[in-house]
Chain A
């Protein structure tokens, strides 16, 4: 899995590409922790390049959301979520816990 991170003025954009499963989820967790550990809590996760995500990936999303939302200091928003991954988020009851955007650009603009 390749992960691209771009730091904008008001948010950080993280774009993983490939599959997020039990083998690769730690990589994604590390990329997101590097941002929150640096004290930045407004993150856009662009999922357009992700073709598979298991509950191991969902675990990373929920734990990052908990960190970001604590003390109302920010959030992780999800952008360009492929249908299959959206369906899995829906199955897990995650839809009310995240803001969704059609594109990374829309999300970065709204943060």
Chain B
């Protein structure tokens, strides 16, 4: 399958992102999509949040940061909450606000305790480097607000993890 061409910010973002949407083509201010817990969905998830972040008026660097954070979060859910790829669901929502974008990932896998994830040693010698915890560190560093909570789903009674991430638009 051919790969998409390298991202060209100028081509993809030729209009002023802060300008109002053209009449009759209103932008989605919020949207939810459900994905299966499979790594092959990462590309689509990144596109989904990338388009939303661009519509929220984030600059190219912040769009990439948001895509990277969501990629890491989605990967962590597959690896930790669901303990590997499966057909379980990961719900991805975004909401564009005046100040930026709020992205929420919800899964109903194993309860996630961020405190149990080791903090990566970013200055160790090569041999002592362990990549564990880098994903969570990226999420926390790249996003402006990160919050992990649990909720019990009203319809199924399942306990679910909710990860809420906010990226502010640069003013």
Residues of A within 8 A of B (CB): 1-2, 17-19, 21-23, 49, 51-52, 54-56, 58-59, 62-63, 65-66, 69, 84, 88, 91-93, 97
Number of chain B residues whose Cβ lies closer than 8 Å to a Cβ of chain A: 31
Complex partner residue of B126 from A21, A52, A66, A84, CB under 8 angstroms: A66
Of chain B, the residue at the smallest CB distance from A23 is: B39
Complex partner residue of A54 from B71, B122, B137, CB under 8 angstroms: B71
Task: Establish whether residues B68 and A22, one from each chain, have CB atoms under 8 Å apart when the complex forms.
Answer: no
Residues of B within 8 A of A (CB): 3-4, 6-7, 39-40, 42-43, 46, 61, 64, 67-68, 71-72, 75, 78-79, 120, 122-123, 126-127, 129, 131, 134-135, 137-138, 141-142
Residues in B with CB closer than 8 Å to A92 are: 120, 122, 134, 137-138
Task: Establish whether residues A22 and B75, one from each chain, have CB atoms under 8 Å apart when the complex forms.
Answer: yes
Residues in B with CB closer than 8 Å to A55 are: 72, 75, 131, 134-135, 138
Task: Establish whether residues B43 and A23, one from each chain, have CB atoms under 8 Å apart when the complex forms.
Answer: yes
A67 to B71, CA, bound (A): 27
- Counting residue pairs across A and B whose Cβ atoms lie within 8 Å, the total is 77
Q: List 11 A-B contacts (CB under 8 A).
A: A2-B3, A22-B39, A22-B75, A51-B6, A52-B7, A56-B75, A62-B129, A88-B68, A91-B141, A91-B142, A92-B122
Task: Establish whether residues B72 and A65, one from each chain, have CB atoms under 8 Å apart when the complex forms.
Answer: no
A18, chain B: closest CB distance, angstroms: 4
- 11 further interface pairs, Cβ-Cβ under 8 Å (given A52-B64, A55-B75, A91-B141): A18-B4, A21-B39, A22-B79, A54-B42, A54-B75, A54-B138, A55-B138, A62-B129, A66-B126, A84-B64, A92-B138
Contact A58:B134 (CB < 8 A) given known A18-B3, A65-B126, A66-B126 = yes
A58 to B72, CA, bound (A): 12
Of chain B, the residue at the smallest CB distance from A92 is: B134
> What are the 6 tightest A-B residue pairs by CB atom distance, in nearest-first order?
A93-B122, A18-B3, A23-B39, A51-B6, A59-B131, A55-B134
